[in-house]
Amino acid sequence: MRITDLIREAGPTVSFEFFPPADEAGSVSLFETIASLVPLHPAFISVTYGAGGSSRERTQRLVERIRAETDLGPLPHLTCLGHRTTDIDRIVDRYEALGISSILCLRGDRPREGTEAPGDFTHAADLVAHVRRRSPGLEIGVAGYPEGHPETPNTLVQMEHLKAKVDAGADFIISQLFFDNRAFLDWRERCRLAGVAAPVLAGIMPITSIAGMRRMAELAAGTRFPAPLMRSLSRAGSDPESVKRVGIHWASEQCRDLLDHRVDGFHFYTLNKSDATRRVFENLGIVDSAGLRSP
């Protein structure tokens, strides 16, 4: 079933994001993680797309394996920087042959060192327009940034770029992770005011360690870490289990509040682990995420 149909008919969706492991041990552990999240009945699980050649092939192989070994619907990520149109067409054809019905179209990050390979696309909107033209039946998701994308000069321009992706044919939006619901809810309202009507899934990442939080801050530059969260983390001090409890409690409260504000769905950045995500659901009293519509 299409993700947008699920949102419309069954209410907020839950989805989990994974990255393709680099080795066999990582694969074994990932499939254990996936198995432990299956009882929550996610609407889909997404698979990130790496910057380098071998990691890109790993994405496609992982999507194939999820398709073959589980009943879950994979949502492959696809980035376009450094890709020729023929590369994109080959990948999309491979996914369509597998019966994949939705894909997340992204630009990707520029390499930190060296120059990027020449490609036919500049912005995610170019990729969306191309995939929409070539595969009219495919459902397309795009990324949104409640607290701004680091390269965008201001939030008005940022909104124009998001609207361009939706106007080019995107069906839904997955947000960058955030810890401040007010920032997300305000941005969601600004999306509606700008005429961006596509459903928006909220990106949630429970903090599980201080080192992990620092990595997140680097990956999602611009994300605010609210003072009450930092106060709780500082009270937790150097005890890893207390830090994790604070992170899980914060994410649980975020989700509870977002449900009250009729969020379209939650997209959990899992880092290939299930424990924190499962504990958020326990805190919310949810044993099965299918049909989360608020009473």
Ligand X SMILES: Cc1cc2nc3c(=O)[nH]c(=O)nc-3n(C[C@H](O)[C@H](O)[C@H](O)COP(=O)(O)OP(=O)(O)OC[C@H]3O[C@@H](n4cnc5c(N)ncnc54)[C@H](O)[C@@H]3O)c2cc1C
- Residues with catalytic function: 17
> Using CB under 6 A, which of the segments 32-40, 120-128, 207-215, 221-229 binds ligand X?
120-128
Nearest-angstrom CA–CA distance, 128 and 168: 6
Among 108, 199, 212, 247, binds ligand X (CB under 6 A): 108
CB of 21 to ligand X, least distance (A): 14
Among 48, 60, 181, 277, binds ligand X (CB under 6 A): 48
Q: By CB under 6 A, tell whether 101 contacts ligand X.
A: no
Per DSSP, the three-state class of 185 is helix
Q: By CB under 6 A, tell whether 190 contacts ligand X.
A: no
Q: By CB under 6 A, tell whether 51 contacts ligand X.
A: yes
Look up residue 85 and give its two tokens.
Answer: 């149109």
Among 143, 196, 229, 280, binds ligand X (CB under 6 A): 143
Instruction: Taking each helix axis as running N to C, give the angle between helix 240-260 and helix 181-193, from 0 to 180 degrees, rounded to the nearest 10.
Output: 30
CB of 126 to ligand X, least distance (A): 8
Tell me which long-range contacts 281-286 makes (C-beta under 8 A, separation of at least 24).
281/40, 283/248, 283/249, 283/252, 284/252, 284/255, 284/256, 284/259, 286/40
Q: By CB under 6 A, tell whether 131 contacts ligand X.
A: no
Q: Based on the number of CB atoms within 10 Å of its own CB, is 26 exposed (0-12), middle (13-18) or buried (19 or more)?
A: middle
CA distances from 213 to 177, 178, 179, 252, 272 (A): 12, 12, 11, 17, 16
Of 104 and 243, nearer to ligand X (C-beta) is: 104
Q: By CB under 6 A, tell whether 20 contacts ligand X.
A: no
Residue numbers at the binding site for ligand X (CB under 6 A)? 48-49, 51, 77, 79, 106-109, 123-125, 143, 149, 151-152, 158, 161, 165, 174, 176, 203
